[in-house]
Structure formats: C-alpha cells, structure tokens
Amino acid sequence: MRKIIIGLLLNIVFISIVSAAKLPLWKIETAQGNAYLLGSIHIFKAKMYPLDKKIISAYQNTDKLVVEANIKAINQMQFALQMQQLGLYTDGETIAQHISAHTLQQLKTYMQENGLSYALLKTMRPWFLSIMLLTHKTTLLGYDQRSGVDMHFLNRATAEKKPILELESAAMQLQLLSKPEPDRVQELSLKATLEQLPQLQQIMQKMITAWQEGDLDVLLAIAKQPEKKYPVLKTSLYELLDKRNIAMVEKIQHYLQSKESYFIVVGAAHLAGEKGLIALLSKGGAKVTQIMTP
C-alpha cells in the first residue's frame, strides 16, 4: 500500500511539472510599486481568444493600462494622410529609381503572382510598401490588427474607462519607420520582406507558438532574422528594438515609483535578450518573475 501511495504522489508531481507552462507575462516588483508586463503580438486571430485566465486576472487587478501607442486616441484620417505623405514618392518618382533591377523584378514577380498591381503601388517608398505587403499577406492568412493583443486590451480598457498611458506614441513610431535611410538599406529591408512573404504562414505560426509558450528567445530570433542575412540592417533593427527599449524602461521605472499598479503591453520582441525590457528591468533592481500556468 505504501508503494502505491508513493507511486501516486510521484505521478501527481510529474503531472504538475509537465503541465506547468510559461506565459508571455511577467510580474515586475520594486520596493515602491509593481506591474505586469505582457509581450504582445500586434496581429492575431479572433479565434485565438480568450487569453489565459492568469493574463486576464493580471489585467483586472491593476489600476492602469500601458501600451506602446494608444492608436484609439488618434485621428485616424489625419494619421493615414500623414503616413501617405511620408510613405509616397512625389514629383513623378517611383520605387524603380531607388532599388536594383534584380529587386525590382523580384517585387514585380511577387505582385503578379499575388494579384497586386505594380502600377498602383510603384510610388510607395520601400518601408511603406513592406508594411502594405505584410498587411496584405497576413490578412489573407486570417490575421488582423484589430484582433492584436494590445488592441484587445485597448478596447477593453476604453470600454471600462480604465486609464490608458503610452510608452511612446503613434506619431513617434511613424517618424521612426519613415526615417530617411540610404537607398541600399531601404532596398535590403524590402528584399528581406519579399523573401519572408512566401514563408509567412510558417513564420507566423512559429511566432504564435513561441508567444503562447512564453519563449522569448524564439521571438527575438525571428525579429532579428533579416540582419543575419543582411548585416547592414543591424543599425536599423537597433533603432527599432534596442534603442527604444532604453526609453521604454525609463518610463516603466518611473511608473514603478508610484503606488498604483500597471498592466503593460509591449511587442514581445522588446522583452527578449540582453538588451530587452526583462533584462534591463532586472539590472535596474526590479524583481522580475515569469508567470506560469496553471
């Protein structure tokens, strides 16, 4: 009988260890305050909801929501106009004048194979065209920015009149995306996008799985894949990730000095690596604990 009981206890322990899984959620604690930090996927599928109960509980038990940018608070028409002004060539210029003949042919081939008109899109700058191509493809795959994790909580906080704070702003992010760069850098960024598009379904599934499992290393590897093939893009990716992380951490540390609690939702790639938010907050003296489920 004793052996049976011990065996049952060992099975219970084993099942508990196996079933425990990491969430893309961390609790941040300091002597002054605390927060939850959730890694976000900006485009998601509606069928992937509801989120884990511990994520919902963390949101419900905090005073304020913090996002990268509160896009619900901006003038959508004005923002779209500004994006067009920054994202389109003028005075008869086209993308053909700014990329090599090889990349241009690669672009035209992709567009033809996917029912897109080069004639209608040829005045787009590489960064704007990359966003358009990615949005078009992810939409075909069933993903939607309106179902993104950050948008989910923005909608909920707005409906509940929960205070919403920003780490950045939509205007700041647009300026960063449209920052003038040498033609060669812009071309390679577009080229990297064109090379990823045929594999985007697999990339998205890998990213979603890594997010669900709280695996930051995989998410960071996906985000930094372009710079492996094209090292010249390293500076651009530094601007998009590492440099922004420093400013984000400063704001988060400021929030943690208050007695209020915060639910912070940031693109998951920002959390990962030695220069990610988790590492930077830990170095700053915060206790950072990844939440497990169940």
- Segment 115-162, tens digit of pLDDT: 999 999 999 999 999 999 999 999 999 999 999 999 999 999 999 999
Give domain status of residue 81, yes or no. yes
Judge whether 69 and 168 are in contact, CB under 8 Å.
yes
- This prediction's pTM: 0.90
User: How many separate domains does the chain show?
Assistant: 1
Give domain status of residue 16, yes or no. no
Give domain status of residue 128, yes or no. yes
Give domain status of residue 243, yes or no. yes
C-alpha 160/C-alpha 58 separation (Å) is 15
Give domain status of residue 189, yes or no. yes
Amino acid at 27: K
Residues 39-50, mean pLDDT to the nearest whole number: 92
Full residue range of the structural domain in which residue 112 is found: 23-293
In degrees and rounded to multiples of 5, residue 144 shows phi and psi of -150, 130
pLDDT at residue 249, rounded to an integer: 97
From residue 169, give the alpha-carbon distance in Å to each of 53, 67, 165: 29, 9, 10
Give domain status of residue 166, yes or no. yes
- Segment 149-178, tens digit of pLDDT: 999 999 999 999 999 999 999 999 999 999
pLDDT at residue 20, rounded to an integer: 60
Give domain status of residue 11, yes or no. no
Under the banding of pLDDT at 50, 70 and 90, the label for residue 285 is very high
Give domain status of residue 185, yes or no. yes
pLDDT at residue 157, rounded to an integer: 98
Under the banding of pLDDT at 50, 70 and 90, the label for residue 279 is very high
- Segment 1-22, tens digit of pLDDT: 444 444 444 443 443 334 468 9
